[in-house]
Amino acid sequence: MADVTYRDAVADGIAREMRRDPTVVCLGEDIGAAEGVFKTTVGLFQEFGPKRVWDTPISEQAIVGAALGAAMTGMRPVAEIMFSDFLACCWDYMANEIPKVRYMTGGQLSAPLVVRTANGGGLGFGAQHSQAVENWTFTVPGLKVVAPSTPADVVGLMASAIRSEDPVVFFEHKGLLATKGPAAPDDHVVPLGEAAVVRDGSDVTLVALASTVPTSLAAADVLAEEGISAEVVDLRCLVPLDMRRVLDSVQRTSRLVIVEENPYQGGWGGTVASIVADEGFELLDAPIRRVAAACVPLPFADVLEAEAIPSADDVVDTVRRLTAY
C-alpha cells in the first residue's frame, strides 16, 4: 500500500466518516472551496457540497457555538479551529459548555462533536501560532484529547473521535503534515485511549505524543549505536490516558523519560510522571525525567525556536545521564 501524507490522511479520515454517516458535517474558516489553510480538507467540498461543508466567518466562538448546537440536535459536527492557539478565543465554550452538556442535563443531551485544530511549533510561525496546547484541554473534565503521530493513526483515531458520544479535541501537528506513512486500510478504527509501543526496547522507556514520537524514534536510533535500547511508547491520546501500557513498558525497562512539546510547567508529562511514581515506584531503578519545551513564548527565529522545543539530541543527553545513574 502506497504511503500518504499526514495532511491527506486528515481529509481521508473525515471523508470516510462523512460517507458512512450522513449526520457528519464540517465547519470552519476556508475549509470549503479553499480546502483549508493547511490543505487538510481537500476534496470534501467537491464531494459533499455546501450543505455538509460549511465555510464560517472568522469567529472561533461562532464555529464552536454552532457545532455545539448542531451536536445537541442530532448532528455530528467536525469543527476546525485554524490554529490551536485560537482555542483561547472560544475557551468558555471549550471549558464550560461543550464538556458539561451531558452532565448538566442529566444525560438528556450530549455533544458528539470533534474540534480539530493545527497544533505545535517547529515551523517558525511565532509565539501566537506555534504553541502546543494539549495541556490546556487536558485540564478540562469531559473532553477527550487526541494527538496522532502517523497518517494511519490520523484516520483510525478520526473514526473513533467522530463516532464518540463525547466531545473530542483532535490535535493535528503542523510539523507532521508533510510527513508520510502507510495509508490506513479500509474500515480502519483506532480505539481512543490505546497507546502503542512503536519501538521495542529494554533499557529505557520514552513516552511521547504527536511530534515527539519521531523525535523519540530518532533519539532511539542514536542510542542504539551506543548500546542503549530505548522503547518508544506513542500515547496517541491524553484522554483517555493509557497508563497501563506505560507501566507495562516501565516494568520491562525500569527507566522512564517523558518527551513532550508542552512547556515543562503544566505539561501533561507531569501527570504521567506522577502516576508512575504513585503506582509504579517499585519498578524504577532511576528517577523519572521529563524533556519538555521551555517556559517561554516561542520565538519566531528558527534557531531560537529550535532551542525552546525538545530535540532528539536533548532526549539522547537525558537518556545517557539516566542510564549512568
Instruction: Catalogue the active-site residues.
Output: 60, 129
The verdict on whether omega for the bond into residue 240 sits within 30 degrees of 0, i.e. cis, is yes
Between the CA atoms of 34, 36, 41 and 44, what dihedral angle is there, to the nearest 10 degrees?
A: -30
Contact at 8 Å (CB) between 213 and 256?
no
Distance, C-alpha 106 to centroid of its chain:
29
What cell numbers appear for 310 in the block?
Answer: 525538545
Listed residue (248, 233, 197, 220) closest to 320, CA to CA: 220
**What is the separation, in whole angstroms, between the first and last Cα of the chain?**
44
Distance, C-alpha 29 to centroid of its chain:
21
**3-state secondary structure at position 124:** coil
Angstrom distances, CA of residue 258 to CA of 126, 156, 211, 234: 25, 24, 13, 11
| Alpha-carbon span 233 to 255, nearest angstrom | 13
Give the amino acid at 135. Answer: N
The alpha carbon dihedral of 82, 87, 89, 92 has a sign of positive
| Alpha-carbon span 196 to 286, nearest angstrom | 23
